[in-house]
Amino acid sequence: MSKQEIANDIAKILESHYPTVPIPLDHTDPYTLLVAVLLSAQCTDKRVNKITPALFEMANNPFDMVKCTIDEINAIVRPCGLAPRKAASIHGLSEILIDKYNGEVPQSFEALEELPGVGHKTASVVMAQAFGVPAFPVDTHIHRLAYRWKLSTGKSVTKTEKDLKKLFPKETWNKLHLQIIFFGREYCPAQRHDPMACPICNKYGRKTLFA
């Protein structure tokens, strides 16, 4: 089978298992989503969702967030890891949103990626999940699975994103990246993975995998 045929079949498998997919990070608007995604770097969504209620009770908009000190933010987000840097980024991006965007989260990749602590993956998640703009956020898990399923070479996250965008229709990207995340958690984990029990790996998985 060609790579395109494999991709088409994988999309059908993912759709059959996850016809509907929730957004993993709890949020109420683009700003709270942006903060939650920033906190999720090198941290599980489950842990972030435990932390953000207290953070958003203290400040759920940039105007209130800049009134808090970085130390106050840090004290709450510490369990997420990399807390001092994340706290400074949350405070810094909140100042920029007020100064440049009237407190609103900008709706462009370029503007988002100029904010402190916001890289391309975070910007892609916000564009896709807050604004419905087609994007294919690739984190380390999607990067790993794309290689495992022979959809990409695994050379870099950037290369994986390009490969996946070529293989799947643009209108499916926003849903598909979430389907891959949920499928990976349930059937295709990095460790202690049974390829024969995985609906995708038992058909297309590589024999030699990286974690």
CA 160 to chain centre: 14
pTM of the model: 0.91
pLDDT higher than 60, residue 27 = yes
Q: Is the pLDDT of residue 117 over 90?
A: yes
Q: Decide if pLDDT at 210 tops 50.
A: no
pLDDT tens, position by position, 55-83: 999 999 999 999 999 999 999 999 999 99
Q: Are 96 and 62 in contact (CB under 8 A)?
A: no
165 assigned to active site: no
Contact 75, 49 (CB under 8 A): no
* 139 is annotated as an active-site residue: yes
Whose tokens are 């969504």? That residue is 45
DSSP-assigned letters across all residues of 130-170: HH--------HHHHHHHHHTTSS--S-HHHHHHHHHHHS-G
b/e 186-202 (16+ beta carbons within 10 angstroms → b): ebbeeeebebeebbbbe
In the set 139, 159, 165, 175, the catalytic residue is 139
Domains and CATH numbers, the chain: 3-21+136-204 (1.10.1670.10), 30-131 (1.10.340.30)
Q: What mean pLDDT comes out for the span 127-132? A: 98
- In sequence order, the 6+-apart residues with CB closer than 8 A to the CB of 134 are 128, 170, 171, 173, 174
Name the band, by pLDDT with cuts 50, 70 and 90, for residue 207. low
